[in-house]
Amino acid sequence: MASNYTVVDHPLVKHKLTLMRKADTSTASFRALLGEISLLLGYEATRDMKLRDEEIQTPLAKMTSPILDGKKVVLISIMRAGQGILDGMLTLMPSARVGHIGLYRDPKTLTAIEYYYKVPGKLDDRDVIVCDPMLATGNSAVAAIDRIKQGRPGSLKFVCLLTCPEGLENFHAHHPDIPVITAAIDERLNEHGYILPGLGDAGDRLFGTK
């Protein structure tokens, strides 16, 4: 398996993920937990953000203190389940710019078909974080990154909640340069392209559509 990934190995992440996996976890809890885990995934995904020093005045003294450098981060959600991670990330980075990509999986071929693309105009000097809870077959993620790379972003990362060896392999076969940040790598994909043991359909669980 390619090595350009990070499993966020934190007790809070593990605990929250276990609750999300349970079949009887309510939609409201699932949504809240995804938001909470996304803060922790976001913490890891932003650990190398650039800083510059700024001269400031505290109530007591002048000091030189670090502040984020460069343009605002761009968060891109792969619709529709990406919204769950996006919401958490926006709590962490409220002034981030936001893009959306609509992709659905053809149920027979499992290939990704784009139906929507709206991202901030100039990506070339921005750090972009792509959000999708499930990196399963990897086909949607590969298609999303193909498309976003056309905008030549300054940097690009992919944040998901769960993945599996097949998904990670496929993703890095196409995009070995893109780091993946995830809460867990599960056992395998089933014949319908779902992650096992997984947590079911993240979009349905997030929006209560099943």
Q: Which parts of this chain interact with ligand URA (CB under 6 A)?
A: 81, 134, 136, 193-195, 198, 201-203
Task: Provide the minimum distance between the beta carbon of 10 and ligand URA in the complex, in angstroms, as a whole number.
Answer: 22
CB of 210 to ligand URA, least distance (A): 11
**How would DSSP label each residue in 15-82?**
HHHHHHHSTT--HHHHHHHHHHHHHHHHHHHTTT--EEEEEEE-SS-EEEEEEE-SSPPEEEEEETTH
Closer CB to ligand URA, residue 74 or residue 183?
Answer: 183
Task: Name the residue nearer to ligand URA (CB basis): 45 or 195.
Answer: 195
For 109, phi then psi, to 5°, come to: -90, -15
**Shortest distance (Å) from residue 30 CB to ligand URA:** 12
Pick between residue 61 and residue 115 the one whose CB is nearest to ligand URA.
115
- Convert 50-88 to b/e letters by CB count within 10 Å (16 or more is b): eeeeeeeeeeeeeeeeeeeeeeebbbbbbbbbbbbbbbb
Q: How far is the CB of 184 from ligand URA (least distance, A)?
A: 12
Query: Hunting for tokens 């959306």 — which residue is that?
Result: 100
Nearer to ligand URA, 102 or 120 (CB): 102
Shortest separation between residue 22's beta carbon and ligand URA, angstroms: 15
Q: Which amino acid is at 108?
A: K
Residue 10, beta-bridge partner list: none
Query: Among residues 148 and 162, whose Cβ is nearest to ligand URA?
Result: 162
